[in-house]
């Protein structure tokens, strides 16, 4: 709806030269879509259901660094910096480069995967069936769905839920939202703020400061 209103405004104002035409048209509020997230217990079940090191490496990479499926399959060997323990994400959504953390556990998983690769990939970290071509996003998404089914997870989640889970779990652990924004490569903090709504589900597990203050007192 917003794009249609903008198109009409552009036509009348820029093409026909009518100043501020439709300026006062009320715009419908966008529905806030709360991200679908996997719990840590569900993630353990999901990862345990993976049947080979390549599949394991692909899903571990997505969750450990909060990457989109296109970013995972687009990773090249040169993007993995084991000296600085960083992953370079090149030309992600919005043509924006960024650097994310390289988990020590992920590094071990990647080394185990590469060790059994014959021939070893020379360009892309996850090669497709043809040498020097990336693994397809559809194949990566299929890996996720097969693992989800084997793990008995009935939530309506997708490969992208690994990225949502990464952000939500960091937020729950107390990482500042601005750092999470940088890790995800979001231009606007409003996009990252969606995860604040998800973490509200955890409010039942959070003690009020008052409860903590009087935790050793039976009676007041």
Active site residue 195: yes
| Residue tagged active-site, from 36, 45, 150, 160 | 160
- State CA 184 to chain mean position distance: 7
Does the bond joining 4 to the residue before it have cis omega, within 30 degrees of 0? no
Name the residue among 32, 38, 11, 31 with its Cα closest to residue 22: 11
Active site residue 160: yes
| Residue tagged active-site, from 186, 194, 200, 218 | 186
Phi, psi at residue 213, to the nearest 5°?
Answer: -65, -40
End-to-end CA, the chain: 57
Instruction: Record the tokens describing residue 4, joined without a space.
Output: 């249609």
Active site residue 93: yes
Q: Is 64 exposed, middle or buried (0-12, 13-18, 19+ CB in 10 A)?
A: buried
| Residue tagged active-site, from 78, 93, 200, 202 | 93
Active site residue 68: yes
| Residue tagged active-site, from 55, 148, 163, 169 | 163
| Residue tagged active-site, from 68, 148, 164, 169 | 68
Integer CA distances (angstroms), 192 to 79, 141, 164, 185, in order = 25, 23, 10, 9
Distance between CA atoms of residues 179 and 185, nearest Å: 10
- Catalytically active residues, by annotation: 68, 93, 160, 163, 186, 195
């Amino acid at each position: 709806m917003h794009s249609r209103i903008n198109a009409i405004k552009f036509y009348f104002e820029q093409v026909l030269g009518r100043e501020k035409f439709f300026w006062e048209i009320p715009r419908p509020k966008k529905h806030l879509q709360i991200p679908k997230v996997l719990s840590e217990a569900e993630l353990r079940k999901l990862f345990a259901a993976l049947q080979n090191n390549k599949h394991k490496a692909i899903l571990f990479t997505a969750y450990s660094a909060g990457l989109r499926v296109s970013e995972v399959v687009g990773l090249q060997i040169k993007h993995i910096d084991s000296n600085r323990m960083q992953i370079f994400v090149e030309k992600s959504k919005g043509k924006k480069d960024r650097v994310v953390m390289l988990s020590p556990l992920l590094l071990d998983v990647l080394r185990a995967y590469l060790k059994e690769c014959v021939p070893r990939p020379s360009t892309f970290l996850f090669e497709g069936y043809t040498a020097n071509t990336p693994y397809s996003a559809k194949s990566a998404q299929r890996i996720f769905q097969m693992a989800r089914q084997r793990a008995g997870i009935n939530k309506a989640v997708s490969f992208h839920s690994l990225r949502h889970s990464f952000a939500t779990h960091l937020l729950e652990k107390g990482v500042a939202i601005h750092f999470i924004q940088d890790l995800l490569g979001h231009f606007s903090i409003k996009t990252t703020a969606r995860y604040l709504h998800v973490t509200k589900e955890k409010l039942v597990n959070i003690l009020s400061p008052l409860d903590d203050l009087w935790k050793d007192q039976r009676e007041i």
